[in-house]
């Protein structure tokens, strides 16, 4: 028990030192053999075990297959990569695609911190770091929030104070999209977690200054989630685990900060939407227009099997964090 605690403290010290070691990156170029789009995955859960009745040992091969199909210029991974990874696997991935990866609550963070892309840039950003990828300013926060500093399942927990500082810094820096592991969908869990309460408070404090896009993972069981949060923020969550294998592609569409965002499940495109960063910032996008639409014009539900609150107001208390079944 003492050895485990000492290892966790050593990892946290190494991680917090690492927070101050890297600079923000600009990735405007499209590497040869790729397309000008960004692929976003979360909760790969590559581990040689069975979870929810599904073997997860093939998750890495599934990921490589999706990358080879999409040929993105950049891959963003939003944590819970799990413990199947080796140095050889990381090298194989970064040789295939330029990658930015944060950690969640099931990760080999020590191994992740050592990874670099072929251009020498760090795969793992520090908390509060921004990366300009194909003209979109992404801001990153690692881990999940907890009441105290500790290390569990290979990943340091982030205190609410550290998380708040990093997220506020990203908002002040004008990030177009927050990339975090912990889902901002606090109203789906009861009782609320530390991170749920933090996001509720921050959205209320940010108001119209909130970033136009938040990308996350963490919440299992359902493949994706779409939400209008606060007055001007679009929230998207995906699960790229073997259970669902859902992910996003984001393609800049020229002037005005417009993005084409497509939702995929394995190799099938479920739907797509076109959003303007500027219109989201202005709060002029109606919540009803923020939905993935299939090629036949059918709109996909926000999260299959659930009704999601889409009003501009944010719940004030944890008592309002209730689950609601979708009415057939």
**Residue range 59-80: mean pLDDT, rounded:** 97
Beta bridge partners of 54: 51
180 or 289: which carries more pLDDT confidence? Answer: 180
Residue 128 and residue 202: Cα distance in Å, rounded? 15
- Tell me the residue range of the domain where 119 lies: 2-320
- pTM here is 0.89
Check whether 179 has a pLDDT greater than 80.
Answer: yes
User: What is the number of domains present in the chain?
Assistant: 1
Check whether 22 has a pLDDT greater than 70.
Answer: no
pLDDT digits (tens, 9 = 90+) for 130-153: 999 999 999 999 999 999 888 998
Residue 325 lies in a domain: no
Q: Which pLDDT band, with edges at 50, 70 and 90, does 20 fall under?
A: low
The pair of structure tokens assigned to 20 is 């101050």
Residue 328 and residue 324: Cα distance in Å, rounded? 12
pLDDT digits (tens, 9 = 90+) for 203-221: 889 988 999 999 999 988 7
CB 179 within 8 A of CB 133: no
pLDDT digits (tens, 9 = 90+) for 235-291: 899 999 999 999 999 999 976 679 999 999 988 999 999 999 888 888 887 767 788
**Residue range 217-237: mean pLDDT, rounded:** 85
Residue 328 lies in a domain: no
Residue 313 lies in a domain: yes
**Residue range 65-87: mean pLDDT, rounded:** 97
Q: Among 22-36, 91-105, 133-147, whose mean pLDDT is lowest?
A: 22-36
CATH of the domain at 304: 3.60.21.10
Residue 327 lies in a domain: no
Check whether 303 has a pLDDT greater than 90.
Answer: no
Check whether 78 has a pLDDT greater than 80.
Answer: yes
**Residue range 289-309: mean pLDDT, rounded:** 73
The pair of structure tokens assigned to 300 is 């996909």
Residue 326 lies in a domain: no
CB 72 within 8 A of CB 38: yes
Residue 143 and residue 105: Cα distance in Å, rounded? 6
Q: Which burial class, exposed, middle or buried, applies to 99 when counting CB atoms under 10 A from its CB (0-12, 13-18, 19+)?
A: buried
Residue 129 lies in a domain: yes
């Amino acid at each position: 028990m003492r050895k485990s605690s000492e290892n966790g403290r050593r990892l946290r010290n190494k991680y917090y030192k690492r927070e101050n070691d890297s600079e923000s990156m600009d990735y405007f170029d499209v590497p040869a053999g790729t397309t000008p789009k960004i692929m976003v995955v979360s909760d790969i859960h590559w581990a040689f075990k069975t979870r929810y009745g599904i073997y997860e040992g093939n998750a890495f091969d599934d990921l490589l297959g999706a990358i080879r199909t999409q040929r993105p210029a950049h891959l963003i991974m939003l944590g819970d990569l799990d413990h199947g990874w080796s140095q050889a696997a990381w090298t194989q991935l970064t040789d295939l695609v330029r990658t930015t990866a944060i950690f969640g609550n099931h990760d080999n963070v020590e191994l992740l911190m050592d990874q670099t892309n072929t251009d020498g840039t760090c795969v793992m950003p520090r908390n509060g770091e921004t990366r300009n990828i194909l003209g979109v300013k992404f801001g990153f926060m690692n881990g999940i929030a907890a009441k105290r500093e500790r290390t569990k399942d290979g990943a340091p927990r982030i205190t609410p104070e550290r998380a708040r500082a990093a997220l506020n810094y990203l908002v002040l820096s004008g990030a177009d999209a927050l990339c975090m592991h912990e889902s901002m969908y606090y109203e789906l869990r009861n009782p609320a977690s530390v991170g749920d309460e933090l996001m509720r408070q921050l959205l209320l404090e940010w108001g119209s200054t909130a970033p136009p896009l938040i990308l996350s993972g963490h919440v299992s069981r359902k493949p994706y989630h779409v939400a209008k949060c606060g007055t001007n923020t679009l929230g998207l969550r995906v699960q790229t685990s073997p259970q669902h294998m859902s992910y996003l592609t984001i393609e800049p569409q020229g002037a005005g900060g417009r993005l084409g965002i497509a939702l995929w499940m394995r190799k099938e495109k479920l739907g797509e939407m076109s959003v303007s960063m500027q219109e989201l910032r202005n709060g002029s996008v109606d919540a009803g227009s923020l939905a993935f639409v299939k090629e036949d014009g059918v709109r996909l539900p926000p999260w299959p099997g659930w009704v999601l609150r889409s009003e501009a107001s944010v719940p004030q208390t944890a008592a309002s964090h209730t689950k609601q079944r979708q009415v057939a």
